[in-house]
Amino acid sequence: MAKSANPTDKYAPDKKLKFTFGLWTVGNPGRDPFGEPTRQKPDVRQICDILGTAGAYGVNFHDNDLIPIDATPEQAAQIKSEFRKGLKDNGLVVPMATTNLFSDPVFKDGAFTSNNASIRAYAIQKTMRAMDLGAEFGAKIYVFWGGREGAESDATKNPVDAVKRFREAIDFLCEYNIEQKFGYKFAFEAKPNEPRGHMYFAVTGSYLALIPTLAHPEMCGVNPEFAHETMAGLNFVHHVAQALEMGKLFHIDLNDQEMGRFDEDFRFGSTSYKSAFFLVKMLEDYKYNGPRHFDSHAYRQSDMQDVGAFAAGSMRTYMILKEKAARWNADPEIQGLLKVINAQDPISKLTKNYSSGNAKKLLAAPLDRVELAKARLPYEQLDQLTAEILFGVR
């Protein structure tokens, strides 16, 4: 068995938090659109060993991360048995699986939303087979990232048809899930662009709006990714908040990203300290119980030893931010300020539920806007205290 992380370290990864990585994340060989790989791609066994050593809980995969698209049945069986052994030896589980519907040329214009009906059928068939594969390894969450579901020009595809085609595919696959008794929960992952010029379902909210229109809304939720809303200059924490409040946060992709740049997929917490802090605080405050998946990769300059540091660092940063969040919640000065800014008034009971009596009382209430505007909002003080906790001086 691989050497495990130091258990006396208070920032050692906590298995209860279900930290996971994808085969494609730790296995990323450092290729980018402008350059060839900078490190040798590790095999599944090596990936399991790296993650076991770092103290991860699990590992996820796309069908073709595990089994190359053109593998023979014998090769597939061989890889599966190596992977199974790697998982066992490192105490790793597979909580999530997904389909690669973006790498092969057949998907150059999309999968479920392709204009070509045979390609749409192939995409659904490929997903069914990938669901079988995920189930073989015990996955209970199935992610749908619409990698090529989009367009460069709206002359090429009808965006209303795209929504209808996507829904048809998901409704079909939900029935397959039920019939096969896989027990998957489906988690949709939004992204505004890359690799397409414009991607359908650009933000998490797009999927939250689609879900109630599906045949099995209870089976479907979201998998928001830190980098994706951030790329578009949006506040990721707010998107996660809405999913969480709706009971639809089934999975989360943690990484980092600077606004307005290419799809960086940086190590979690490597650049946006404050957003990462508020994200961790929210996940912990609201007792998010799903996997915390790091969908990121090491810098292109890293060697395999540094990839190990990347994996360990991702989890360690989460543990540190979790501790900072607890410190924030326990800070008497911060708590005092929170009381001041969240002014309470018994009159707010009136708007909890509508009745004509309450409406009458509210209309007659003596609410003086000039007086109300005088209430203190010491937000500078509160934000500075937050910064000091993050800077490690409080």
Q: Which residues bind ligand GCO (CB under 6 A)?
A: 98, 143, 145, 189, 191, 225, 253, 263, 265, 295
- Residue number, 256 or 295, with CB nearest to ligand GCO: 295
Shortest gap between Cβ of 294 and ligand GCO (angstroms)? 11
Out of 65, 253, 256, 264, name the contact with Mn ion by CB under 5 A: 253
Out of 295, 315, 317, 386, name the contact with Mn ion by CB under 5 A: 295
Shortest gap between Cβ of 180 and Mn ion (angstroms)? 25
- Residue number, 25 or 386, with CB nearest to ligand GCO: 25
Determine the Cα–Cα distance for residues 144 and 186; give it in Å rounded to an integer: 7
Note if 293 is an active site residue: no
Shortest gap between Cβ of 107 and Mn ion (angstroms)? 17
Residue 143 touches which of ligand GCO, Mn ion, none (Cβ within 5-8 Å per kind): ligand GCO
Residue 53 C-alpha from the chain's centroid: 23
Determine the Cα–Cα distance for residues 11 and 246; give it in Å rounded to an integer: 31
Shortest gap between Cβ of 98 and ligand GCO (angstroms)? 4
Residue 98 touches which of ligand GCO, Mn ion, none (Cβ within 5-8 Å per kind): ligand GCO
- What is the pattern of x (binds Mn ion, CB under 5 A) and - over residues 106-125? --------------------
Residue, CB closest to ligand GCO: 145
227 binds Mn ion (CB under 5 A): yes
Residue 65 touches which of Mn ion, ligand GCO, none (Cβ within 5-8 Å per kind): none
| Beta strand extents in the chain (DSSP E only) | 19-22, 58-62, 96-98, 141-145, 150-151, 185-189, 198-199, 220-222, 252-254, 292-294
- Residue number, 49 or 295, with CB nearest to Mn ion: 295
Burial letters 288-327, b for 16+ CB under 10 A, else e: bebbbbbbbbbeeebeeeebbebbbbbbbbbbbbbebbee
Note if 62 is an active site residue: yes
- Residue number, 109 or 253, with CB nearest to Mn ion: 253
Nearest partner of 185 among 157, 214, 219, 154, judged by Cα: 219
141 binds Mn ion (CB under 5 A): no
Residue 90 touches which of ligand GCO, Mn ion, none (Cβ within 5-8 Å per kind): none
* List 62, 228, 251, 297, catalytic entry: 62
- Residue number, 202 or 227, with CB nearest to Mn ion: 227
Nearest partner of 80 among 92, 63, 102, judged by Cα: 63
Q: In what order do the strands lie in the sheet with 96-98?
A: 220-222, 185-189, 141-145, 96-98, 58-62, 19-22, 292-294, 252-254
Find where tokens 């933000």 sit: 203
Shortest gap between Cβ of 329 and ligand GCO (angstroms)? 30
> Side chain identity at 266, as an amino acid letter?
F
Shortest gap between Cβ of 376 and ligand GCO (angstroms)? 43
- Residue number, 256 or 265, with CB nearest to ligand GCO: 265
Shortest gap between Cβ of 292 and ligand GCO (angstroms)? 14
Out of 65, 149, 225, 229, name the contact with Mn ion by CB under 5 A: 225
**Is 357 in a helix, a strand, or coil?**
helix
Residue 316 touches which of Mn ion, ligand GCO, none (Cβ within 5-8 Å per kind): none
H/E segment holding residue 226: helix 226-231
Q: Is 110 left (phi over 0), alpha (psi -120 to 50) or beta?
A: left
**Cβ pair 166, 113 in contact under 8 A:** yes
* List 9, 43, 63, 65, catalytic entry: 65
Before 105, cis peptide (omega within 30)? Answer: no
Determine the Cα–Cα distance for residues 305 and 116; give it in Å rounded to an integer: 44
**Cβ pair 129, 182 in contact under 8 A:** no
Burial class for 104, CB neighbours closer than 10 Å (0-12, 13-18, 19+): middle
- Residue number, 229 or 295, with CB nearest to Mn ion: 295
Residue 264 neighbours by CB under 8 Å, 6+ apart: 227, 256, 257, 258
Catalytic residues: 62, 65
- Contact residues: Mn ion, CB under 5 A: 225, 227, 253, 295
